[in-house]
Amino acid sequence: MPKRYAMSVDVGGTFTDFVLCDMDAGATVAFHKVLTDAERPARAVIAGWEELLAMAGASSDQVQYAVHSTTIVTNAIVARTGAKTGLLTTSGFRDVLEIGIEQIYDIYDLFAPYPPPLIPRHLRLEVPERVTRDGEVLQPLDEAAVRTQVDVLRTAGVRAIAVSLIHAYRNPDHERRIAAIVTEMAPEIAVSLSSRVAPVMGEYERTSTVAADAYVKPLLRHYVTDLLDHLRRLGYRRPLYLMLSSGGITTAEAAIEFPVRLLESGPAAGAFAASFYGQTTGNEHVLSFDMGGTTAKACLIARGRPGVAGMLEADRVHRFKPGSGLPIMAPTVALIEIGAGGGSIARVNELGLLSIGPESAEANPGPASYGLGGEQPTVTDANTLLGYLDPGYFLGGRMVLQPELAARAVGRFVGSGLNLSPTEAAWGIHATVNENMAQAARTHLIERNQDPRQVAMVAFGGAGPAHAVEVARILGIRRVIAPLGAGVASAIGALTAPMALPLVRSYMTLLDAADWDHVRALYDGMRDEAERAFAGVTGAESVRYGAALDMRFAGQYHELRVALPGGVPEREHVAELAAAFQAGYTAEYGRAPGGLPVEILNWHLTAELPGFAFNLAKEPRREADPNGARKGERAVYFRRPEPGYRPCPVYDRYGLNPGAAFAGPAIVEEREATVVIPPGCRVVVDGYRNLLMSLEQDGMAR
């Protein structure tokens, strides 16, 4: 009987990663990595798909399951490469995208910049209509005015229209009618309705979200259909699933309908990979450390699963300043961007200080050491000079790095400005990136009431294992896990994710005064939507539901997400809901005031189906001499106890058997990633071939 395979693809800013899995055994067969094609990402996906299947001796018709995470939505918003988009809104609300919430994110900068709206003012048009906060029609929709405005937008050449009417989250009838008129007059124009994309309170946030959804909809539709057409020609006949920002997967059709839900698709897959490896190694609380070619991200995995936030920000003017970006009301894994990636560019700034990122060399032209035309020094160039990367074994030898180009770039743009040798400048780049990432990760953990010393770190991404131990040392973390296939772990994470659909409805009420008949109607509507979305999906009859509420003390500005493991809330659950909110508030902030009324803003429902049954084959532990996997040694730079290059053993990751143990300094190489193990760190290979690294915090040196 022919073998059956599952394929996972993760498209990043620099590399596109692949994992091929045996569906019957549930275990990985092969990993692969290719450079991302920024102009046409589907081209790199198809090339890597064919190459990996050829490596495994398999064909596309044997692939029974394919899942895909991608950065295409994020990149389109940041680079402003989405479609020309118009907005139809209630009279008087044309400028809500620029007015925002009138809150300055930096109180010391009265001229703090914001990203420009995705839709310029001349394409934001008003229509007469008005619905009250209770959903009553105060002013009927002027359909003649709608037709006039649609004609204006069509003449202007828009390819998408976002519709955001005041209080449409309570009564969507006017938005639905506008959609019908657009479809009748201009069926070629994509339409996004705020009442479908983000049916929640907050006019600015809701309008910003639906604008982003419409802006990327034509682009994602073209990308997915182009990819599917190519896959069909190769012989793949099954559905294509895509990773959501919230950590679940969805069908290609649903992704095209709500593309803004894919904004953090790739990072969410990485968080699920960390959750999976935390569970397989017996660590309930882990810090996901995902450092790729463009950015690095961290996520706290508490009690086996990443947290989910109700919104995120895109295209921040200042990467680490909340409020400086475009608010997107879409469920997302609660992660933080903590620093630069391997392709991030280093420079001496106007203050004479070393600065790294956020600009990235990406795949084209890439770091200087790639030899593809890049001249600016990057983190990868610094790591090459320090001896952490083998120039002849990058991507398993499919790409040869050029240290002389790295030395020239680092010396010219960093060393000369700081009066340092290329080696000293390279160490400065490496150390600065580590410090920046550690400080951001510490903030992320402390904000979640988590002591960094009580978690293990799961390190992955193409660059993550080269930096992880030093970042962990700065944080005080004593355990670091580097899984086999760390360079493609996000693609592995997508294989572990369930199929899920997050839904939400706004209804602001005091807990003690809620209209529970209305609540039941809200949840019935969300269940109906989930059933329609899962219609025809294998196993749809096994759908599981989980509810959550956004709650706060009355008068507060920020709310807290409270999960309800017992199912949909009912009138008899009032006391239980109040107790769950008090407990969650105390866990988040350390204490909770008593005697204050509790308010509910949003009511959530998540419909979930079991995902692909991915697992790792555990091998028996045995005494294994690591010298059998030793490839040789090379000069590697460590800072302490004495700065300088020293001979360092280099191990082949694939030759390290369960039970092998050794101490740093050492380098462990696999095709997609390199693990740097400094002095003072001990390593044991477990039954899943994970590298379990223990740090001696007091004596560890670099």
Give mean pLDDT, residues 661-670.
94
pLDDT for residue 275? 93
Whether 190 and 102 share a structural domain: yes
397-402 LR contacts (CB < 8 Å, sep 24+): 399/370, 400/371, 401/369, 401/370, 401/371, 402/368, 402/369, 402/370, 402/371
Contact 458, 381 (CB under 8 A): no
* pTM for this model (two decimals): 0.87
Whether 106 and 123 share a structural domain: yes
Asked whether the predicted pLDDT for residue 50 surpasses 90, the reply is: yes
Distance, CA of 221 to CA of 76 (rounded, Å): 13
Distance, CA of 626 to CA of 685 (rounded, Å): 10
Asked whether the predicted pLDDT for residue 496 surpasses 70, the reply is: yes
pLDDT above 90: percentage of residues in the chain: 61
Which of residues 232, 262, 292 is at a domain's end?
A: 262
Whether 180 and 236 share a structural domain: no
Q: What confidence tier does 161 reach under pLDDT thresholds 50, 70, 90?
A: very high
Q: φ and ψ at 108, to 5 degrees?
A: -95, 0
Whether 119 and 73 share a structural domain: no
Distance, CA of 659 to CA of 626 (rounded, Å): 9
Asked whether the predicted pLDDT for residue 690 surpasses 80, the reply is: yes
pLDDT for residue 566? 65
Domain ranges, residue 239: 5-77+221-262
Give mean pLDDT, residues 222-232.
93
What are the angstrom distances between the C-alpha of 55 and each of 31, 51, 68? 10, 6, 20
Whether 103 and 210 share a structural domain: yes
pLDDT for residue 124? 98
545: its two tokens: 């539901």
What are the angstrom distances between the C-alpha of 83 and each of 218, 364, 392, 396? 6, 23, 42, 38
Residue 378 placed within a domain: no
Whether 540 and 661 share a structural domain: no
Residue 382 placed within a domain: no
Asked whether the predicted pLDDT for residue 375 surpasses 60, the reply is: yes
Give mean pLDDT, residues 141-160.
97
User: Parallel, antiparallel, or unpaired: how do β-strands 479-482 and 456-460 relate?
Assistant: parallel
Q: What confidence tier does 699 reach under pLDDT thresholds 50, 70, 90?
A: very low
Of 32-46, 112-126, 618-632, which range is least confident? 618-632
Residue 277 placed within a domain: no
* pLDDT tens per residue across span 526-555: 999 888 888 777 766 778 898 999 999 998
Of 81-95, 222-236, 315-329, 456-470, which range is least confident? 315-329
pLDDT for residue 107? 82
Give mean pLDDT, residues 247-265.
92
Residue 315 placed within a domain: no
Whether 109 and 230 share a structural domain: no
pLDDT for residue 1? 66
Asked whether the predicted pLDDT for residue 95 surpasses 80, the reply is: yes
Residue 127 placed within a domain: yes
* CATH code of residue 550: 3.30.1490
What's the longest Cα–Cα distance across the chain? 80
Q: What confidence tier does 698 reach under pLDDT thresholds 50, 70, 90?
A: low
Q: In the sheet that 499-510 helps form, which strands lie side by side, from edge to edge?
A: 27-35, 15-22, 5-11, 63-70, 240-243, 249-251, 499-510, 598-609, 544-553, 560-564
Asked whether the predicted pLDDT for residue 701 surpasses 50, the reply is: no
* pLDDT tens per residue across span 404-448: 999 999 999 999 999 999 999 999 999 999 999 999 899 889 888
Whether 117 and 178 share a structural domain: yes
546: its two tokens: 């989980």
Which of residues 199, 215, 231 is at a domain's end?
A: 215
pLDDT for residue 247? 87
Whether 83 and 199 share a structural domain: yes
Q: What confidence tier does 45 reach under pLDDT thresholds 50, 70, 90?
A: very high
Asked whether the predicted pLDDT for residue 700 surpasses 70, the reply is: no
Asked whether the predicted pLDDT for residue 617 surpasses 80, the reply is: no
Residue 16 placed within a domain: yes
* pLDDT tens per residue across span 451-485: 899 999 999 998 999 999 999 999 999 999 999 98
Number of domains the chain contains: 4
Whether 99 and 202 share a structural domain: yes
Q: Give bridge partners of residue 130 from the DSSP assignment.
A: 139
pLDDT for residue 558? 84
pLDDT above 70: percentage of residues in the chain: 98
Whether 106 and 210 share a structural domain: yes
* pLDDT tens per residue across span 549-604: 999 999 888 889 888 866 788 888 898 899 999 998 988 888 888 889 999 999 99
pLDDT for residue 26? 64
Whether 55 and 129 share a structural domain: no
3-state secondary structure 661-674: EEECCEEEECCCCE
Give mean pLDDT, residues 375-403.
92
pLDDT for residue 433? 94
Distance, CA of 200 to CA of 519 (rounded, Å): 14
Asked whether the predicted pLDDT for residue 12 surpasses 90, the reply is: no
Residue 431 placed within a domain: no
What average pLDDT is seen over the chain?
Answer: 90
Give mean pLDDT, residues 321-344.
87
Residue 337 placed within a domain: no
